Structure 1
Amino acid sequence: MRALVTGCGRRLGFYLCQQLVADGWQVTGSYRSERPELAQLQALGVELVQADFCDAEAVDRLIQRLAVHQDLALVIHNASAFEPMSADPHQQLAQFEQFYRVHMAAPFQLNQALSPQLAAHDNASIIHLTDIYIHAPAPQFASYVASKAGAHALAMSFARELAPHIRVNTIEPGPILFLDEHSAQWRQHVLAKTPLAREGGLEPIWQAVQLLMTNHYMTGASIRVDGGRALAVI
């Protein structure tokens, strides 16, 4: 069987591709920008497709590439854009449009176009990666969080529309893997308000993916993987 992982070039997407290959899956990964990690995925046999999700035509080209793969049985929407709200009001709409394209419009295109292929297989699954902050949006990340909340609503709508042939669920990560630009002070601040008091790493997300892939009776579900951080922010 084949899986599509979007945003495969780094961090979580890169890791999920590795785990799926090790688990016996054929994998297609989409990426926006060239990165050194892509050579490693290519060496593993991952089919790589460049696609800027801000461009609807690029998403259509990805769909066309996937059309030949009648073994497609899993889609993981991992591609993400993230930055604080710009202080320049003229840039804020452009930011919102970018987040909307990456987190909502492109997944909508993919789900709509790929659902006939997915429905041909027993236990086909779509998984959207969202964020625990969809339940407690911070003003400085308003556009990002709003589009991630939209991705959640989109997933729930598809869960109803595509049942019983395709299951659609979401995973809500918390402090899984800090960014390089996060200072030691910021990391301490976040972990102090996380009940398990540690960075999660990428493996807990893979474990949640495995659950959603294999449990035949889960659709329209959301799994928080956050060390309990949502308890402090919601």
Structure 2
Amino acid sequence: MRALVTGAGRRLGFYLCEQLVAAGWQVTGQYRSERPELGRLRALGVELIQADFTRPEEVAALAHATARHEDLGLIIHNASAFEPLAEDPAEQLAQFDRFYRVHMAAPFQLNQVLAPRLACNANASIIQITDIYIHGPAPRFANYVATKAGAHSLAMSLARQLAPAVRVNTIEPGPILFLDEHDEAWRQQVLARTPLAREGGLEPIWQAVQLLLGNHYMTGASIKVDGGRSLAII
């Protein structure tokens, strides 16, 4: 079977491609910008397709290239854009549009084209990566959180629409892997309000993916993988 993973160029998406290959999947990965590390995925046999999700025509090209694979059984919508709310009000709408296209419009467009292909294969799944902060939105990240919440809502609607042929679930990460720009003070502040008091790493997300793939009676579910962090923000 084949999986499509978006945002495969780095961090979680890169890791999920590696794990899926190791588990016996054929993998197509979408990336926005070329990076030297992508050679590692190509060496594993991952089909990599460049697409900028702010450009609908490039999303369409990705969708139609992926639809050629009759064995498509999984889509993981992982691609993400993240930054604080723009300080200049004139920039906030442009920022919102960019986040909307990455988090909502691109997954919607891919699902439209690829859902019929998924439905032809047994136990097909769509997994949307969202964020625990959709339940406790912070004004500083309003555009990011709002569009991630929109992605969650679209996934829940799709779970009803595509059942029983395709299962649709979401994973809500917490502090699994800090960004390079997060200084030590910020990291300690976050972990101090996380009951398990540690950074999770990427493996727990893969374990959640495995659960969703293996449990054939789950659709419309959301799994928090956050060390309990959501208890402090909701």
Structure 2-normalised TM-score? 0.99
Partner of 2:121: 121
* Alignment correspondent of 1:4: 4
Partner of 2:146: 146
Q: What is the CA–CA distance in structure 2 between the aligned matches of 1:211 and 1:110, rounded to whole Å? A: 23
Aligned residues: 234
Question: Corresponding residue for 1:14?
Answer: 14
Report whether the alignment pairs 1:165 with 2:165. yes
2:30 matched residue in structure 1? 30
Q: Kindly, what percent of the aligned residue pairs are identical?
A: 76
Residue 33 of structure 2 corresponds to residue 43 of structure 1: no
Q: Which amino acid counterpart does residue 94 of structure 2 have in structure 1?
A: A
- Kindly state the Cα deviation for residue 126 of structure 1 after the two structures are TM-superposed: 0.1
- For residues 36 and 83 of structure 1, the distance between their equivalents in structure 2, rounded to whole angstroms, comes to 24
In angstroms, what is the RMSD of aligned CA positions?
Answer: 0.4
Cα pair 2:64 2:113 within 8 Å, conserved: no
Aligned AA for 2:7?
A: G
Contact 1:33 1:50 in 2 (8 A): yes
Distance 2:33 2:113 in 1: 24
CA–CA distance in 2 between the matches of 1:227 and 1:207? 14
For residues 213 and 168 of structure 2, the distance between their equivalents in structure 1, rounded to whole angstroms, comes to 10
Distance 2:67 2:156 in 1: 25
Partner of residue 91, structure 1: 91
Q: Unpaired runs of 5+ in structure 2?
A: none
**Counterpart mapping for 1:195-214 below 5 A:** 195-214=195-214
- Separation (CA, whole Å) in 2 of partners of 1:88 and 1:208: 38
Shift of 1:67: 2.1
Offset from partner CA, 1:123-172 (integer Å, 9 cap, x none): 00000000000000000100000000000000000000000000000000
Cα distance in 1 for residues equivalent to 2:167 and 2:65: 23
Contact 1:99 1:143 in 2 (8 A): yes
CA contact (8 A) 1:14 1:37 kept: no
CA distance in 2, matches of 1:74, 1:67: 12
Provide the rounded CA distance (Å) in 1 between the counterparts of 2:213 and 2:29. 17
TM-score under structure 1 normalisation? Answer: 0.99
SS in 2 for 1:227: coil
Question: For the residues of structure 1 that align with 2:179 and 2:34, how far apart are their CA atoms?
Answer: 19
Q: Which runs of 5+ in 1 are unaligned?
A: none
Superposed CA offset, 1:169-218 (max 9, x none): 00000000000110000000000000000000000000000001111000
- Aligned positions of 1:36-75 closer than 5 A: 36-75=36-75
Hey, which bits of structure 1, 4+ residues long, moved more than 3 A? none
Match of 1:226 in 2: 226
Q: Distance in 1 between matches of 2:57 and 2:37?
A: 25
Verify the 8 A CA contact 1:81 1:102 in the aligned structure 2.
Answer: yes
Deviations 1:58-94 (A, max 9, x none): 0000012112100000000000000000110111000
Residue of structure 1 equivalent to 2:155: 155
